[in-house]
Amino acid sequence: MEILQSLASRSELKYLFLTGMRFSLELTLVATLMGMLFGTCLAVARVAQIRVFSNMAALYVNAMRSIPLLLVIFWIYFLAPYLLGWVSRSAQPVQVGGYTSAMVTFVLFESAFFCEIMRAGIGSVKKTQIQAAFALGMNYRQAMILVVLPQALRNMSPAILSQIVVLFQDTSLVYVLSLTDFFGAASELGARDGRVVELYIFAAAVYLVICVTASGGVKYLQRKVSF
């Protein structure tokens, strides 16, 4: 309570939540939506009968899942400007910036994890459903979009929500790019006022409340889906 009163008296709660938390949630939302979209495409490629697509998707997913997220952040931030400069035949590296680097990194990284969730969901749908779709005259793409994916989405909803919780926690890593997420905002205020321990405790409490609440929602959804 004393920490909250100190923060409120200095208008720091506004900086923490309207600046820091807003960016954390924005990054989580973008990485979730785009990661699920890209991950679904990868999952469909992995279960496809075309070996080239399947192997390429498997190579990407396995590589991303084997590399620490922090290392991927550094790769995108430091190497992407030189790669873009080489592609565009520019004499100088193309400036990407921390914000764009963070967004791209999280989308590419999370898509690998969403791919495996999607692939497991697709695998949970009985093959007779696909056969029935083919019997109705659908092609492979129509069967996946209209029959398989809607059922798979229902089965994998708890796993998707669990991954989103992990993603939200991982957004704190963007502090290495000097971006102001919630954890970064708490670190800045703590370092400025010499109250690092207090601000870290407050940040941990906020993360705890959000993640415990979200985990409770996941458990509730698991019970609903199981029926």
Q: Over the stretch 136-152, which tens digit does the pLDDT of each residue have?
A: 888 878 888 888 888 88
Q: Where are the domains of the chain?
A: 2-226
Which of 40-49, 81-90, 206-215, 218-227 is least confident? 218-227
Q: Which residue has the higher pLDDT, 5 or 132?
A: 132
Q: What is the CATH number of domain 2-226?
A: 1.10.3720.10
Please indicate, yes or no, whether the overall pTM of this predicted structure exceeds 0.85: yes
pLDDT surpasses 90 at 195: no
Q: Over the stretch 39-70, which tens digit does the pLDDT of each residue have?
A: 999 998 998 878 898 999 999 999 999 999 99
Q: At a CB cut-off of 8 Å and minimum separation 6, what does 169 contact? A: 207, 211
Q: Over the stretch 8-26, which tens digit does the pLDDT of each residue have?
A: 556 788 889 989 999 999 9
**Ramachandran area for residue 95 (φ above 0: left; ψ -120 to 50: alpha; else beta):** beta
Q: By C-alpha distance, which of 106, 101, 3, 115 is closest to 48?
A: 115
